[in-house]
Amino acid sequence: MTLSKVSNCRSRQSLVLEKVRADLSNRTKTLRSLGATFKIMDANGDRKIDKQEFYWGLKDLGCSLSKKEAGILLEALDTNADGFVNFEEFQVGLRGYPNATRQEVIDRAFKKFDKDCCGVIDSCDLAVVFNCIKHPKVLRGEMTSDDVFIEFLACFGDKKGDGKITQSEWNDYYGGVSASIENDGHFCQLMVTAWKL
């Protein structure tokens, strides 16, 4: 393939990716919960999405794209060139990584709680800062503060309920939050306020 053909191919891939991101950005919950989205799209549960699953999954999410565009996008996201999109390729491709400014504050928040630098935060460390007593569902009597805290931990990927959050889970969660906030200053202020940095 000539250099101009490669350039044209990348340009088409970028245009389709931006189109899908724009469609999904109107659904901020979808961007934040790409893990659940991926599971829905992965019809046979093999932890990778083929061309058909990818196309129909994006259509179900409200993305307006043709089969040809879906094929172009799948090729762009398929970084290991196996013909499928795995979870990491899907997540990073659609959401992208937070920029350096945002990642610095995400890391600073994690390090605040990871006192022994083991790469894992214990729920006891977060409980000191995350006060559930004034949560609306607690105030209305719908949930206990313990229930709210367990639900909060599940947002970070603590599906086992063991009260431990890895740095990867932390980064994944805040990567999703970052994708739904356009302004760097607003995102950083949210982190500073939430975690008292």
CATH fold match for the domains 3-95 and 100-195: yes
The C-alpha atoms of residue 148 and residue 153 are separated, in whole angstroms, by 9
Tell me how far apart the terminal alpha carbons of the chain are, to the nearest angstrom.
50
| 51-63 per-position pLDDT tens digit | 888 888 888 877 8
Q: What is the largest CA-CA distance in the chain?
A: 65
Radius of gyration of the chain (CA): 19
In sequence order, which residues have a C-beta less than 8 Å from that of residue 32 and are 6 or more positions away? Answer: 176, 177, 179, 180
Does residue 74 register a pLDDT over 90?
A: no
The hierarchical CATH code for the domain 3-95 is 1.10.238.10
Work out the pLDDT band at 2, boundaries 50, 70, 90. Answer: very low
Full-model pTM: 0.61
Cα atoms in the 13 Å half-sphere on the side-chain side of 38: 21
The C-alpha atoms of residue 175 and residue 157 are separated, in whole angstroms, by 13
pLDDT value at position 169? 82
Domain ranges of the chain: 3-95, 100-195
- 100-195 under CATH 1.10.238.10, yes or no: yes
Residue 121: φ, ψ to 5°:
-105, 135
